[in-house]
Amino acid sequence: MNRAARLNARHNAGPMRATHTQHRFTAHALLTLIVCSLVLPTPCLAQRARRSARSPIVLTSDRVDASPGRRLLIPVVSAVGAGAPAQLEARLDDGRTLDAELVRLQTSDRPDTLRGAPSWLPRARQWFAMAPGDPRIDLNTPGSWFVLLHPPEDSAGQGLWIGGRRVDIAWLPDPYTLRETGDPLEAWSPWASPSPEPWRADAGFRSLIEEDRLSPARQWRWKLAVGQLAPTEPFGGHGAPAPIDSPDELQRALTRAPLADRALRAFSEQLEARWQVALASLHRADPTTARRVRARLAGAADLSPGPIVPIFAPLDTFTDDLLDDLLDPRETDAQRSAIARAWLGAQPRAVAWVIDDAGRSDALTDAARPTIGIVSLPDDDQPRALNLGGAAQRVTVESVPPRIAAGARPDMDPQTGTGVVGVNVELGAWSTSLGVASGALPVTPPGLTIGPLRRAWSMESWRDGRLDIDASAPSDSLCAAMLHRAGADWRLYVECKLPPGSSPSGELVRVWIGPFSAPSSVLAVTSDGRVNPELGGSGPAWTDVGLGDDRWSFDLDLPAGAVGANGVLRLAIEHIDTFGERTSAPRRMLPWQREPGRLAIDTRAWEALGPTTER
């Protein structure tokens, strides 16, 4: 099976697609090695070690991509763990010996990211590079072993011997020599950013991709997104490798040792060089496909009135295969083009999500209308027609531009009952079904539970339409509510947990009442019982607050007029915990979203059951 067919087979297999490939030096491969080092039983390591009894380490790579004159990291399995020697025997085919060091790269969560608002991209981890015997080595912490060495500039074409075993090296050309004449950042450059300059300069966009800049494993993608991936000088033009903008100051303070600087720089530069050569090779073979691949790897979209947002393809084994296959010297240009097109075929053609279920109503019928967001991501950058159907009455939008958010508020089919129903979204040949809460949900004694509140979307969960990914708040800061009636008044009981040792002083719950994007009242309640009417002057100034060892709660009287003349209450809840993380109900919010979508509640159902008394 050729490479393109293999990629297609993996795509068609969906979540169960095969993951058995040769080991390669990529960020995702590092994580695979991390898992191997933590999970493989001792007999497994011993078996590998017996294959090369003369060496304290066992190589895991069938092919290593390297650049002459640049530091090189080769992933290995250390058969003796922390007791391995720091210096290893290494030489080239011509007999020249090289200084080789065994180094462990180890990662952990950054202390400043343990709590607080989640980031759009995955948080950059804190990286450490340590020699054997370093007391910080923890084999129960994610990490892996590497051999670090520095091949000379004239080593191209030679093999490398480590501990008596020959390693086949695929020597990469200097990316600088692959530059085209003229401006390397012109639109069809192999390394040009896929986004226009105003998008790249957008402060919101820069903030959202900052985590990539701080990660040695993802800095190449940050450079591609902002237009800085093009090589600016040849490998041999500066002697030693040049410094890079990675990692952040906290990480630098924790890894000041020269070994850490060398190893982390080598990791980032080696991965960057591989992508530079791979993208240049694809550009030479098929410039149009190369441009589309760059757009998937590091593209963006305009979510006005929100910021320019990155929509990046996942850096998973599928993308690892793309990189490895583009660099495979056995592939022809036609095969590289086919491989890239197969990878593109696995990427989503659009993103669709429910912003609001029932916060808007039809002006004539007063029926609830959902608000649906759509971002078209076609590879050819052409507009697409949008069609909505299913439980919604047919809606057609003739032209949805690429990478610019669009919205639709379809009328629901009058025959649709109350409950979660499917709204079909079709954008060109792409389609999906979204679950929408149809009609007003009835509230009956003892009350209607709302929540638990859910975290803001991350790029991964939003891009893939996964309501469950990253949705749950930490168990020690969950928040939920119940709408109930006390006499003639409607009340909202809210209870939020407090993390151990935290103060409730930074907690805030915001209650949104009325139509989405046009609320009639917004009440902000703090843990001292103060009620601040941020919109609409009505409502109590104070409410009773219950404070426990691990939670706080209140029972808020909703303002007069909260329930419409038709008996429908439109309601949403937003919680900001003591660490600044925001959760909401009934819908997840985008991180920059101003207000949550609403839930339509039919209060007449309570009356239909007869008179009730206060709890």
Instruction: Give the pLDDT confidence of 116-128 residue by residue, as tens digits.
Output: 667 899 999 999 9
Last residue of a domain, one of 345, 380, 413: 345
CB 589 within 8 A of CB 598: no
* Degrees, nearest 5: CA angle 214-219-225: 115
Is 535 inside a domain boundary? yes
Is 247 inside a domain boundary? yes
**Euclidean distance between CA atoms 310 and 303, whole angstroms:** 10
Is 520 inside a domain boundary? yes
Q: In 3-state terms, the chain is what percent helix, strand and coil (to 5)?
A: 25, 30, 45
CB 407 within 8 A of CB 376: no
pLDDT at 227 over 50: yes
CA neighbor of 274 nearest in space, from 40, 65, 471, 507: 65
**Co-location of 424 and 464 in the same domain:** no
pLDDT at 364: 57
276, HSE (Cβ side, Cα atoms, 13 Å): 29
**Co-location of 205 and 99 in the same domain:** yes
> Residues 252, 253, 259, 260: is their CA dihedral positive or negative?
negative
pLDDT at 5: 59
pLDDT at 14 over 70: no
pLDDT at 57: 62
Q: What is the largest CA-CA distance in the chain?
A: 95
**Co-location of 570 and 433 in the same domain:** no
**Co-location of 354 and 298 in the same domain:** no
**Do the strands 489-497 and 551-557 form a parallel or antiparallel pair, or are they unpaired?**
antiparallel
CA neighbor of 275 nearest in space, from 224, 330, 209: 224
pLDDT at 573: 98
Contacts of 606 by beta carbon, 8 Å cutoff, 6+ apart: 443, 444, 445, 485, 612
- The CATH number of residue 384's host domain is 2.60.40.3770
Q: Which residue has better confidence, 171 or 50?
A: 171
User: In the structure, what pLDDT confidence band is assigned to residue 78 with cuts at 50, 70 and 90?
Assistant: low
pLDDT at 432 over 90: yes
Query: Cα separations (Å) of 323 from 179, 273, 283, 335?
Result: 19, 11, 13, 13
Is 391 inside a domain boundary? yes
Count Cβ atoms within 10 A of the Cβ of residue 67 and give its class: 0-12 exposed, 13-18 middle, 19 or more buried: buried
**Co-location of 123 and 45 in the same domain:** yes
Continuous segment of H or E residues that includes residue 71: none
CB 78 within 8 A of CB 272: no
Average pLDDT over residues 5-26: 43
Continuous segment of H or E residues that includes residue 437: strand 430-438
Q: Which residue has better confidence, 133 or 52?
A: 133
Structural domain range at position 82: 3-345
Tally Cβ neighbours within 10 Å of residue 40.
Answer: 13
pLDDT at 133: 85
**Co-location of 468 and 599 in the same domain:** yes
pLDDT at 158 over 70: yes
pLDDT at 76: 86
pLDDT at 3: 56
**Euclidean distance between CA atoms 149 and 354, whole angstroms:** 52
- Helix, strand, or coil here: 193? coil
| 6-20, 67-81, 323-337, 418-432: least confident range | 6-20
Average pLDDT over residues 64-74: 91
Is 615 inside a domain boundary? no
Per the structure block, which two tokens stand in for 297? 């790897």
pLDDT at 547: 92
pLDDT at 421: 85
- Find where tokens 């008044």 sit: 489
**Co-location of 61 and 89 in the same domain:** yes
Q: What percent of the chain has pLDDT over 90?
A: 53
**Euclidean distance between CA atoms 154 and 167, whole angstroms:** 17
**Euclidean distance between CA atoms 443 and 95, whole angstroms:** 82
Reply yes or no: is the peptide bond before residue 446 cis, omega within 30 of 0. yes
pLDDT at 506: 86
505-520 b/e with 16+ CB inside 10 Å = b? eebbbbbbbbbbeebb
User: In the structure, what pLDDT confidence band is assigned to residue 312 with cuts at 50, 70 and 90?
Assistant: very high
CB 601 within 8 A of CB 571: yes
**Euclidean distance between CA atoms 53 and 311, whole angstroms:** 47
Is 613 inside a domain boundary? no
| 149-158, 390-399, 492-501: least confident range | 390-399
**Co-location of 450 and 399 in the same domain:** no
Q: Which residue has better confidence, 538 or 66?
A: 66
Continuous segment of H or E residues that includes residue 201: helix 197-201
pTM of the model: 0.85
**Co-location of 314 and 388 in the same domain:** no
Query: Cα separations (Å) of 44 from 20, 37, 134, 370?
Result: 17, 10, 25, 55
Last residue of a domain, one of 323, 345, 367: 345
Q: Convert the pLDDT of each residue in 390-407 to its tens digit.
A: 877 778 887 899 999 998
pLDDT at 17: 33
CB 310 within 8 A of CB 207: no
Cα first-last separation, the chain: 69
pLDDT at 35: 33
**Euclidean distance between CA atoms 468 and 374, whole angstroms:** 19
Q: Convert the pLDDT of each residue in 543-560 to its tens digit.
A: 889 999 899 999 999 998
- The CATH number of residue 519's host domain is 2.60.40
Query: Cα separations (Å) of 389 from 345, 363, 397, 412, 425?
Result: 25, 21, 12, 9, 7
Per the structure block, which two tokens stand in for 184? 């390397």
Contacts of 111 by beta carbon, 8 Å cutoff, 6+ apart: 126, 250
CB 404 within 8 A of CB 397: no
User: In the structure, what pLDDT confidence band is assigned to residue 610 with cuts at 50, 70 and 90?
Assistant: low
CB 445 within 8 A of CB 107: no
pLDDT at 293: 98
Residue at 242: amino acid letter: A
Q: What is the average pLDDT value for the chain, to the nearest integer?
A: 83
Residue at 115: amino acid letter: R
Is 92 inside a domain boundary? yes
**Co-location of 430 and 518 in the same domain:** no
CA neighbor of 131 nearest in space, from 98, 83, 163: 83
Beta bridge mates, 144: 105
pLDDT at 42: 31
Q: Convert the pLDDT of each residue in 444-469 to its tens digit.
A: 999 999 999 999 999 999 999 998 88
Beta bridge mates, 287: none
**Co-location of 401 and 511 in the same domain:** no
Q: Convert the pLDDT of each residue in 263-306 to its tens digit.
A: 999 999 999 999 999 999 999 999 999 999 999 999 999 998 88
pLDDT at 243: 42
Q: Convert the pLDDT of each residue in 234-264 to its tens digit.
A: 765 444 443 444 444 433 433 344 788 899 9
User: In the structure, what pLDDT confidence band is assigned to residue 51 with cuts at 50, 70 and 90?
Assistant: very low
Per the structure block, which two tokens stand in for 459? 């790029």
pLDDT at 614 over 50: no
CB under 8 A, 24+ apart: contacts of 18-23: 19/317, 21/317, 21/320, 21/321, 21/324, 22/61, 22/62, 22/63, 22/324, 23/60, 23/61, 23/62, 23/75
pLDDT at 292: 97
pLDDT at 294: 97
Is 614 inside a domain boundary? no
DSSP annotation of 376 reads E
| 198-212, 385-399, 552-566: least confident range | 385-399
> Residues 399, 403, 404, 405: is their CA dihedral positive or negative?
positive
**Co-location of 220 and 368 in the same domain:** no
DSSP annotation of 133 reads T
Last residue of a domain, one of 301, 323, 345: 345
Beta bridge mates, 149: 72, 100
Per the structure block, which two tokens stand in for 99? 């200084």
Give me the number of domains the chain comprises. Answer: 3
